[in-house]
A and B are shown apart, each in its own frame.
Chain A
Amino acid sequence: MLTLSAFFCGLLFGLGLILGGMTNPAKVQAFLDLGGAWDPSLALVMGGAILVASGAFAVAKNRPRSLLGAPMQLPSARDLEPRLIGGSVLFGAGWGLAGFCPGPAIVTLGTGAPAAGLFVCAMLVGMLAFEGLDQFLKRARTPRPAAGVR
């Protein structure tokens, strides 16, 4: 059931992105182009989505389990660390350069557009690079027990 509902949510999410205009990189860039002919449409995509989702999150917050019995897994982090800001700066730059963020890139890959294929491959490499670096830093920070000590 959880897999099925994930499938339909993914489908609905994709349909929303297409209808909203998010899968057209030129439109996304027109939204980000405050110095040119500005297309405010994407603000309405976000506004509409937040309006609808807010109620559901308010309900979800107070439930230990989902309606299908899965544990409620909402993020608990509260710190504004440098990596949150730094990561968002890098993401925003990439978003502005190509007009793709992760969701629309995946949906556009579904149309068979080669440009989306190339973008998604690079995006996955970028994600793997982060995992690699993150693991490396974590290991570097944890002191290893000295050899020979039992």
Chain B
Amino acid sequence: MTIDWQHFTPWTSLAGGVLLGLSAAVFVLLNGRIAGISGVLGGLLQPRRGDVDWRVAFVAGMLLAPLAYGLFATLPVARMSTEATLLVGAGLLVGFGTRLGAGCTSGHGVCGISRLAPRSLVATLTFMVSGFLTVYLVRHVFA
């Protein structure tokens, strides 16, 4: 394993993490809920009365974040695959998997570990290992 020092961004990543943590903290203290994105979205697909507004508002805030960021700084360059089959396959896996596993990087990874939930620790380790293995297979075995 070699560390890619050229692309390593310790300070901005730490600062980004602090903002994420602040968002999760304010959200649980004010709204009494977990800032878990797959859960927020999943609840919108099974709408219940009185449980829709805050979800729509949270997602709207996320969608407007690039615009708000652009007011103060240049958006960082994002490189992503444009291969439709890969995007659809990966999207299906992420959607189905996060609902089956009851959480994603935010709900289990950030909020769950912050509240010391053993389930979330197990889920986080599992999806990290699965992600490591997938990238290893794609880049170093089947490449």
Task: Give residues in A with beta carbon < 8 Å to B.
Answer: 2-27, 29-30, 32-42, 44-61, 65-68, 70-75, 77-80, 83-103, 105-111, 113-116, 118-131, 134
B contact residues around A18 at 8 Å (CB): 16, 65-66, 69, 75-76
Beta-carbon contact of A89 and B18 below 8 Å:
no
For B, the interface residue count at a CB cutoff of 8 angstroms equals 111
Task: Give residues in B with beta carbon < 8 Å to A.
Answer: 1-4, 7-10, 12-35, 37-38, 41-42, 45-46, 53-55, 57-69, 75-82, 84, 86-102, 104-106, 108-115, 117-119, 122-124, 126-136, 138-140
B contact residues around A49 at 8 Å (CB): 17-18, 20-21, 24, 110, 114
Checking B9, B13, B97 against A91 with a beta-carbon cut-off of 8 angstroms, the contacting residue is B97
Number of A-B contacts (CB under 8 A): 499
Beta-carbon contact of B66 and A126 below 8 Å:
no
Whole-angstrom distance from the CB of B139 to the nearest CB of chain A? 6
A48-B17 contact in complex given A66-B29, A127-B38, A127-B96, C-beta closer than 8 Å: yes
CA distance A21 to B17 in the complex (A): 10
Beta-carbon contact of A88 and B97 below 8 Å:
yes
Beta-carbon contact of A97 and B97 below 8 Å:
no
A-B contact pairs, 9 of them (CB 8 A): A3-B57, A5-B26, A13-B62, A16-B22, A73-B33, A83-B102, A88-B101, A94-B92, A119-B88
Whole-angstrom distance from the CB of B81 to the nearest CB of chain A? 6
